[in-house]
Structure 1
Amino acid sequence: MSSTTAPKLHKFILFVPYAKDSPRSSVLPRHRAEIAPLVESGVVKIAGPFLTPESRVESEDAPQTPFGSCIIYEAENIDVVRKIVESDVYYTSGVWDRERLMLVPFLPVTPFP
């Protein structure tokens, strides 16, 4: 009887600023819809926008100015994540500044949610 073991999963963090004059608001609903299955399956652990230091998070009504995305993925290797990133509507439509995109391995040393 053969048994298969699940592949070891690693974490990767994406930091990418938004491109100047990006079409973010027009593709945000599609981005959220496409990332939802990745969240449900556990591939995306955490995702959200970075806000400028002047932004206020104390209230939903307070001014908030997003300037980029942060996503933590869990996958077998960085190539798997790179394919996911490059198929994201934020990537294909020019929301993300591809020249400044950083996708790197992430090794948490504290418990991970």
Structure 2
Amino acid sequence: MRSFSICTQVLRDRVRLSPSLLLFSRMSSSSSKSLTKFVVYAPDKEGTLDLRYQVRQRHLDGIVPTVKSGVMKLGGMMVDPESDVNLPQKKAIGSLVIYEAESVEQVKRMVETDIYYTSGVWDQEKLVICPFFAATPWP
């Protein structure tokens, strides 16, 4: 099973990175422990909607410490744009999360222990973690 893509120098051969991301990777590996924001795009595997809702409470309970610590800045479910968003059980197609952490490896460890990852809700081969630099003021 192929692991998910990480935008970092370590896996640059497996992910097409822009020169600026490669520069970031070199800088981040040699610099002191500063915090960087990382975006995680975690699409669901096809046919896992029922499983997502079965393990959802465990997922929400599991992220509480990460949210309380301030490491998880933003997280949520992406919904099929053609589905009725007013229904209580929306047609989820994946998750989007923004972490603030010391390294991509720290974020990878958090993602790999999430029930959505371990139960097979998220498509591990399509999941992406990349450094994120906001162009607008951070809310």
Using the size of structure 1 for normalisation, the TM-score is: 0.85
Superposed displacement of residue 64, structure 1: 3.3
Partners of 1:61 and 1:87 in 2: how far apart? Answer: 29
Aligned partner letter, 2:77: P
Partner of 1:64: 90
Of 78, 103, 120 in structure 2, the residue corresponding to residue 94 of structure 1 is 120
**Across the two proteins, how many residue pairs are aligned to each other?**
106
Higher relative helix content: 2
Partner of 1:3: none
Superposed displacement of residue 45, structure 1: 0.4
Of 36, 42, 48 in structure 1, the residue corresponding to residue 64 of structure 2 is 36
Partner of 2:46: 20
Aligned partner letter, 2:97: I
Alignment RMSD: 1.8
Partner of 1:54: 82
Of 60, 69, 73 in structure 1, the residue corresponding to residue 99 of structure 2 is 73
- Which consecutive segments of 4 or more residues in structure 1 shift more than 3 A? 60-64
Is this contact kept in 2: 1:55–1:63, CA < 8 A?
A: no
Superposed displacement of residue 109, structure 1: 1.6
Superposed displacement of residue 61, structure 1: 4.1
* Structure 1: gaps of 5 or more residues: 1-5
Segment drifting more, 60-69 vs 72-81 = 60-69
* Structure 2: gaps of 5 or more residues: 1-31
